[in-house]
Each structure stands twice: as C-alpha cells, then as structure tokens.
Amino acid sequence: MNNNIDVYKKNLYSAVIADTLDSLGYHKQVLTPGITSLDPNIKICGLARVGLYMPIYHDDEHVNVYEHEIALVDSLKENEVAVLCCHGNKKIAPWGELLSTRASYLKSAGCLTDGCIRDSDMIRKMNFPVFSKGTNPVDTKFRGKMMMADVPGEIADVRVESGDLVFGDNDGVVIIPSKMIEGVTKKALDKVNSENTVRDEIKKGEKLTDIFEKHGIL
C-alpha cells in the first residue's frame, strides 16, 4: 500500500476521485467546503486513523484531556492520517507543531480535522500536510477532549472510518471507503489517462461535442 500511496499522491487529484466515486454511486464522499490545506502546495493522501472529540468545560486531575490524543498520535504508522473529528468546533485546536513533529518522525501522511490547528508557521516550515477549518491559538485543555479513537466518525458531513483513504488538495478533500480503495483508485488513474488524451485533443482544436462523443468525459 505504501508504494500505491505515492502513486496516488503524484497522479490523482480530488476532482477525478470525486467523479469516479460518483460513477460508482457514491455521491457523499466529498467533505463540505471549508477545510483547506495549511500550505496550498501540499496534498494529503493516506489511510485514516479516526479520533472523536467532544466539548468540555473544565479540566482537573480526573479529566486527563490528552490521554487518547497522545495514544493515537504515538500509534500512527507510515502513510496514516490523523483524522480528528471535532463536529466543526472551531473553538479548539487539537493539532499543533509538537504533534506534527511526532507524526512526521513516524512518517505519518498528515492530519485532517474539522476543528482548528495552531503553530501554523512552524508546521508550514516542516512541510507536514495539515488540512483544517482554520487556525486558533487555544489549546484543547478546558475546551475539548478526544473521547474515542479508531471508531467510525463523521467529518464535514462525510462518514469516515480508520482504514479509509483520505485524499485532499486545493479543490477539497475526498474519503474513499476502505473496501473501495483498489477499485476506485484504479478507475481514477484510468480516467486521468483519458483526460490527458482529451486535453491534447482540445489543444489541437477539436470540438468539445466531438471529443465528448468519443470519450464521454470533459
């Protein structure tokens, strides 16, 4: 799978994956717009590791706010993406530079969250892939806690489970269910080749009507 991740990241883009999923009857796999890359030149592509957050309103010795968060990050493997489901809560920033440093050492493929992130300048210098709803300097302490990990969740209106493929670029983020990864990526790569052919024909001056009749794509 690791070699495949490199191929996907190099050759695919979110639009062609979304089109492929549509063609297979999966119409709700694209995250609601608003989650963007910290660095527009960096894609995210890897297998999801899901963590679910809930709001909290205090902290004491019994809360242990970082317990599940630390365990999830420490257990990340090569080409895995920490997917932090915050239910759109922008009052917390569950990801920052220190977690990025640890995840990068473990060769993680990045972090995706519908919450916020912090330490953005330092993360950007690391070239570590992070997609989020924005930035906020506040810690999760006193505000939010990861309650469970590696369970099904929802992020930006899309169901996600550990093992699903996360792919994001400047156009948006797509989730491919684990059982569909091989079939979807193969069909998407074929579509990329077809689109390259169509692009060449357009540049040669061929009519869109003729091209669409021949290839069925635009």
Query: 203 and 169, same structural domain?
Result: no
Which residues in 62-88 are b (16+ Cβ under 10 Å) and which e? Answer: eeebeebbeebbeebeebbbbbbbbee
**DSSP annotation string for 17-42:** HHHHHHHTT----BPPTT-EESSTT-
Cα of first residue to Cα of last residue in the chain, in angstroms, is: 30
Assign residue 149 a region: left if phi > 0, alpha if psi is -120 to 50, beta otherwise?
Answer: beta
Overall pTM > 0.75: yes
The model's confidence at residue 3, banded by pLDDT at 50, 70 and 90, is confident
Domain residues for 65? 2-178
* 214 has a pLDDT exceeding 90: no
Query: 152 and 128, same structural domain?
Result: yes
The letter for the amino acid at 213 is E
Query: 145 and 211, same structural domain?
Result: no
* 76 has a pLDDT exceeding 90: yes
Query: 151 and 72, same structural domain?
Result: yes
Query: 209 and 145, same structural domain?
Result: no
Tell me what pLDDT residue 173 has: 98
Query: 190 and 174, same structural domain?
Result: no
